Amino acid sequence: MPISDFPIPIPFAKYMETAENLNLFSTKEMEKKYQEYRNSIDLKDGFKSGNVFDDYLKDRIKDVDGFAAIKMPDGKKTLGDIISIESDKTTAIKNAVNKALAVDEKTKQARNNFKADLATANKLIKKDPPVANLSALGGYLQDRKAAVKTAVEAQHKLEIEKLEVLINDTAFKNNLRAATGEKTDSAIKKITDEALTTLKNSQKAELEKIEKTITDEVTNLHKSAQEQRDRIPYLGTMYDHPMSQAMRAEIDRVALLNKKEDSGLQVEVNVSPTGKTILKGVDVKHLQFLQTITGRHIRNNNGVMEMQLPPFYDIGYYYGRHDNISYDLTSLAAGMRACGYTKITMTVTHYNADTAQEMGRKAYEACLRAGFDHTDAANITINVNGEDVKLKELFKNDPARKQAAEEAAIQAKSEREKYIDDSYTPNDIKIFKDKVFAERQNGISLEKSEVEAGEVPRLA
């Protein structure tokens, strides 16, 4: 992210009287802008874990083949070898095991409910504006995960109980003796004990997979929520700022393209009566250029943003009462953050080493102000005249300045997290859950074709 040739080789900071416009990037002001444009929230992918129940049903031990790897007491053959031989005895064994492991009707209904819930939830999320509190979606998915785990655990309990009854059944043990050629009770017990252990181990792995799949998505939902809180207020700030009207036109262009692609119709970009939705679907990465709050243009190209500072004779820019350098650097860093990046390299160049160093310090402060996390040193890299500089060296003459900037960043992060925590209550999860249920009851959310295809069954 190069910023080239600030022209004045003097310590210009002492001439600056105020940086008050940096308040536009404060946590409080960004939250206000987020609330103003919150109907621009865009979770176009919705929930992605709708197949987790189906995956479980597909991968679970569902028949005698799940025990095929169990070795016979002589160590030469496996149970799979024995069962592959067609006979009345092996057929009886297969049928008995398959029956014991059959999916219970309650499990099937739980699967249908989960599929239908998430399909319905996705349609509510994708409505314009979305019928959901973004911050509550992770909680809703946690609630659905609990329901899935309860159903799967009940299925597991049934399987263990039925298998235990089966392996103690005299007729089953006699069929197993005849099929395997094993005559002693100890040999048969060794086979059945291993089958029980195999089933328990498989069930444990199945629950762990469900837990991980849904927990990972909850984590991603929280990440998406944070990305929306970076994207929306940044775009809203720049869209409304009087010095960035060219960027406003560029946002309008991208928003209009998105709406045409979504609907296939000629539409106008406008403001919804229920809130501003103009920013929905506008990805900062797709904007051909950006602007700063001073009006400076930023070239935007595949994750690299560049801007040129004005020539030395622009007295108003360098010697005015506002810290325009910090305004522009913060605008630039905020644009990168709004793209979803968590790491940034800010490159500054100037022929005067002292000026370049001061630019580097301001660049670091701008990155912190934009929300990049300094607690991992890899997240922020400052490059001065072609060399990455160590922050301790960069601030060696004023370590208190670095400390103050980092303490302010920690405070801002805490404020952002509080806004997210305060943005919903457990009641919001219940409200969304009730809306999903109502939609399902009314049959509004499920297309006839989906039901006929058997992908998302209606409630009985």
The DSSP string of 389-413 is --HHHHTTT-HHHHHHHHHHHHHHH
- Tell the burial category of 388 from Cβ atoms under 10 Å away from its Cβ (0-12, 13-18, 19+): exposed
Lowest mean pLDDT among 315-319, 366-370, 396-400: 315-319
What pLDDT, in 10s, does the model give residues 177-235? 999 999 899 999 999 999 999 999 999 999 999 999 999 999 988 888 888 889 999 99
Give the pLDDT confidence score for residue 320 in this predicted structure: 81
Buried-state track 393-431, b at ≥16 Cβ within 10 A, e below 16: ebbeeeeeebeebbeebeebbeebeebbeebbeeebbeb
Q: What is the pLDDT of residue 424?
A: 72
Which comes out higher in pLDDT, residue 159 or 446? 159
282-320 burial, b at 16+ Cβ within 10 Å, e below that, comes to: bebeebeebbbbbbbebebeeeebebebbeeeeeebbee
Q: Mean pLDDT of all residues in the chain?
A: 85
Quote the pLDDT of residue 455.
38
Q: Per the structure block, which two tokens stand in for 98?
A: 């398959």
What is the three-class DSSP state of 131?
coil
pLDDT for the residue 261: 56
- In angstroms, the first-to-last Cα distance of the chain is 58
Strand bridging mode 289-291 / 387-388? unpaired
d(Cα 341, Cα 101) in Å, to the nearest integer?
48
The Cα–Cα gap between 120 and 434 comes to 11
**Whether the predicted pLDDT of 9 surpasses 90:** no
- pLDDT for 350 equals 81
Confidence label for 318 from pLDDT (cuts 50, 70 and 90): confident
Highest-confidence segment of 62-76, 91-105, 115-129: 91-105
With tokens 């007491």, the residue in question is 73
Euclidean distance between CA atoms 200 and 211, whole angstroms: 17
What is the share, in percent, of the chain residues with pLDDT greater than 90? 61
Per-residue pLDDT tens digits for 39-97: 888 876 789 888 999 999 999 999 999 999 999 988 889 999 999 999 999 999 999 99
Full-model pTM:
0.78
Indicate the pLDDT class of residue 314, thresholds 50, 70 and 90. confident
pLDDT at residue 378 in the model:
93
pLDDT value of position 290: 95
**Inter-helix orientation angle 27-36/185-240, to 10°:** 90
- The predicted model gives 276-283 an average pLDDT of 77
Q: How confident is the model at residue 117 (pLDDT cuts 50, 70, 90)?
A: very high
Position with higher pLDDT, 9 vs 315 = 315
Percent over 70 (pLDDT), the chain: 88
Q: Does pLDDT of 406 surpass 80?
A: yes
